[in-house]
């Protein structure tokens, strides 16, 4: 039994509060255990220069941890002499992951801005960010679709992410900060609801892993993400039923 009374294969409790803020086209507060992240999606009617007149849109993401999100104050990225490398790496992960679940040709020459702000960190912030950002993206696309600004609903599949690792020889799902800091092996997995992986990040922090351990971690992450899809679909239940199969094949 883990310190927070979970079994090794258990996710932390997940709470998704949709429309958490009013101004964005889609917004969500996601809580995974003690980790809390605000995710917003806003649509801009223009694309980067390199995409102009090509008839398709773009999606990009920005990620930040607020000063009070950790036990000791975290310096704001805007006051750093140079950009925080970790934040850049995570926001690129979020952006490329979300781009796999949307047909950008269907949104026209628009840019979707995904903004992720960690307000409380207890491990797994990048995975929580992807899980929440997908829901915010879905809400934004629903708004665009219902306004008649796009003809077809562009979301192709659901997207989820979770951490898994080897801690003191045990394979654990959805690591909190204490577990992550003690992990011999750390893995982050991003997968869609068709069972296809978008990204697998795995590294030996203070140890190594063999093929069997890698498979065990990947299998456990897959089970966890399938459970996350259930939470996402419950959060979007009132929005999913607005669309028939022809418009939104993910509603089944």
Distances (CA, A) of 184 to 75, 91, 208: 28, 25, 7
Give Rg (Cα) of the chain: 18
Average pLDDT over residues 79-101: 91
* Domains assigned to the chain: 14-251 (3.30.230.70)
Query: Mean pLDDT across the stretch 56-67?
Result: 95
Q: What is the mean pLDDT of residues 200-205?
A: 91
Look at residue 29 in the predicted model and tell me its pLDDT.
98
Give the per-residue pLDDT at 76.
Answer: 86
Which residue did the predictor score with more confidence, 208 or 120?
120
What phi and psi values does residue 137 have, to the nearest 5 degrees? Answer: -60, -45
pLDDT in tens, 178-195: 999 999 999 999 999 999
The pLDDT tens digits for 153-171 are: 999 999 999 999 999 999 9
pLDDT on residue 165: 96
pLDDT at 244: 38
Model confidence, pTM? 0.92
Mean confidence (pLDDT) of the chain: 92
Average pLDDT (190-201) is: 96
Note the pLDDT of residue 248: 43
Residue 218 has pLDDT above 60, yes or no: yes
What pLDDT score does 205 carry?
Answer: 81
Strands (E), the chain: 14-18, 26-32, 35-44, 58-65, 111-120, 159-167, 170-173, 185-192, 197-204
Instruction: Work out the number of other CB atoms within 10 angstroms of the CB of residue 44.
Output: 12
Examine the pLDDT at 97 and tell me if it is beyond 90.
Answer: yes
Confidence category of residue 251, pLDDT binned at 50, 70, 90 = very low
Give dist(CA 227, CA 188) in Å, integer.
Answer: 16
- What confidence tens digit (pLDDT) does each residue in 237-250 have? 988 744 433 344 44
What's the pLDDT at 48?
A: 93
Q: CA 103 to CA 233: how far, in whole Å?
A: 20
- Quick one: pLDDT at residue 153? 95
Q: What is the pLDDT of residues 5-42, one digit of tens each?
A: 899 999 999 999 999 999 999 999 999 999 999 999 99
- Quote the CA–CA distance of 83 and 65 in Å, as a whole number: 13
* Strands 111-120 vs 58-65: parallel, antiparallel or unpaired: parallel
């Amino acid at each position: 039994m883990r310190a927070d009374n979970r079994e090794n294969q258990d996710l932390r409790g997940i709470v998704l509060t949709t429309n958490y803020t009013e101004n964005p086209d889609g917004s969500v507060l996601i809580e995974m255990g003690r980790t809390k992240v605000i995710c917003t999606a806003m649509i801009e009617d223009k694309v980067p220069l390199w995409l102009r007149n090509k008839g398709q849109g773009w999606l990009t993401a920005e990620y930040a941890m607020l000063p009070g999100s950790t036990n000791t104050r975290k310096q704001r990225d805007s006051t750093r002499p140079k950009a925080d490398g970790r934040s850049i790496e995570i926001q690129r992960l979020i952006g490329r992951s979300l781009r796999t679940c949307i047909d950008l040709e269907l949104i026209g020459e628009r840019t979707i801005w995904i903004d992720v702000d960690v307000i409380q960190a207890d491990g797994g912030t990048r995975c929580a960010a992807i899980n929440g950002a997908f829901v915010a993206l879905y809400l934004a696309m629903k708004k665009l679709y219902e306004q008649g600004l796009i003809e077809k609903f562009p979301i192709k599949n659901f997207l989820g992410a979770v951490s898994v690792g080897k801690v003191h020889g045990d394979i654990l799902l959805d690591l909190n900060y204490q577990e992550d800091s003690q992990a011999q092996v750390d893995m982050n997995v991003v997968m869609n609801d068709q069972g296809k992986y978008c990204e697998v990040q795995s590294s030996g922090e203070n140890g190594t892993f063999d093929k069997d351990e890698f498979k065990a971690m990947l299998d456990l992450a897959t089970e966890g993400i399938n459970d996350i899809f259930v939470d996402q679909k419950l959060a979007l239940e009132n929005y999913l039923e607005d669309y028939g199969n022809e418009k939104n094949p993910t509603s089944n």
